[in-house]
Structure 1
């Protein structure tokens, strides 16, 4: 089911170079969350562009362990890295809203990836880098990303990879085991995990997308999510006037 990780790495590295050179950019910038997807993108950028890349740790009510894992990755691979604490900006935005506004949890949580997107584009423009996203094929297919948040990027190096393929590439690259094996999470609130929120394991979703295998519940979830989130994968529609 999973493709050769060595072939995947070779193709992505070649593609990154092609895309960034074609855009007239110098390298890439990526937010590192302490998870395996962002770890793989950051390491690939370092392998291709050396010092012409930037990894950015952006805590925002984040778990301490996630920040520790992001810092571990940066140390292990000697990544150019900065930390931008978005906690004050997050709290400042909330405090600017009407005090009687009852903000629903998902709207509150989605502020975080949108602040991160703004930060990455600022740094990308500052350095002449393209913003590299960390979404994989499963997340993109079912719309498991924040529109104009972690979905707001220039390039998606992992966009054709199943989650298991991302893990295999991470192992090949030497990403620390505690990052490879941790439960995937967007870190939007304490205790949140991708699989818990979606209601399915990545292994089950990988198998459905790769082989069309899975029970009726998996098929119903994937196809329903694909339809509901189509707007996230398309440019905004334009009203054509005659």
Structure 2
């Protein structure tokens, strides 16, 4: 159990989908233009997050300028491929399917002790390689598909699904992703299905994490956005062990949300003193 008393936190996470839609499509078009490009690449998994990124990108840039790439592994479900195809057809996106089984298995098979986490990281990083190859071939930026919940919990792979050029939905909790996805027209079947990284048969995000997105979104919102202490979150009706576990994960995975640290030797070290916004262009 994650809750010890009824909670009314979720309504506080509600977003104005019209404003969010306008801001995120504006962000995409602005960032693409500042990079001197007109196109984007989206890795489509068949899940809600990549679908939302695709819909926002198509609205911002035009569907003809968004390449959807499916990268199935041998255990990928047929349903996921069909859901990705539904997005492609609904938006009219140019698309490409690049199976990664023959790339992944020669590496995986070299290690008899390979576990699911290591294998999942290999698959995520291979997909990043494919997307960046298509970025070079097609001339577009790789769009991120991670949400705020995943980022805060560290539920991502460094230089895998987090290895992207920009992150349009990374300030939306999963609860908010569902709201915006419904507003922009993501198929209801994709919105309703259990979130899954599709790493093995029957795998679900919530089963792997050990809690529901709705529960953890409420706790994260209080801890991060509202700056509550652990005790204050517990006072809202949440189980202390659950809250402490969530906060421990947020802190332990902070390194995933930052660039690698640079050892400082000079007066102006990159990332310390020579530090500018992403779109800095100099004098």
TM over 0.5: yes
Whether the 8 Å CA contact 2:40–2:143 is kept in 1: the answer is yes
Deviation at 1:124, TM superposition (A): 0.9
Matched residue SS, 2:259: coil
* 2:279 corresponds to: none
* 2:249 corresponds to: 225
1:1-242 aligned within 5 A? 1=12, 2-50=14-62, 51-61=64-74, 62-95=76-109, 97=110, 101-212=112-223, 213=233, 214-240=238-264
Matched residue SS, 2:40: strand
Deviation at 1:215, TM superposition (A): 2.7
What are the ranges of 5 or more consecutive residues in structure 2 without an aligned counterpart?
Answer: 1-11, 224-232, 267-283
State the TM-score, normalizing by the size of structure 2: 0.80
Deviates most, 216-225 or 134-143: 216-225
Which of the pair has more CA radius of gyration? 2
Whole-angstrom CA distance in 1 between matches of 2:137 and 2:170? 26
State the TM-score, normalizing by the size of structure 1: 0.93
Whether the 8 Å CA contact 1:37–1:166 is kept in 2: the answer is yes
Deviation at 1:241, TM superposition (A): 5.2
Deviation at 1:211, TM superposition (A): 3.4
Whether the 8 Å CA contact 2:108–2:114 is kept in 1: the answer is no
Aligned-residue CA RMSD in angstroms?
1.5
Whether the 8 Å CA contact 1:110–1:188 is kept in 2: the answer is no
Whole-angstrom CA distance in 2 between matches of 1:211 and 1:105? 32
Whether the 8 Å CA contact 1:130–1:154 is kept in 2: the answer is yes
Whether the 8 Å CA contact 2:145–2:169 is kept in 1: the answer is yes
What are the ranges of 5 or more consecutive residues in structure 1 without an aligned counterpart?
Answer: none
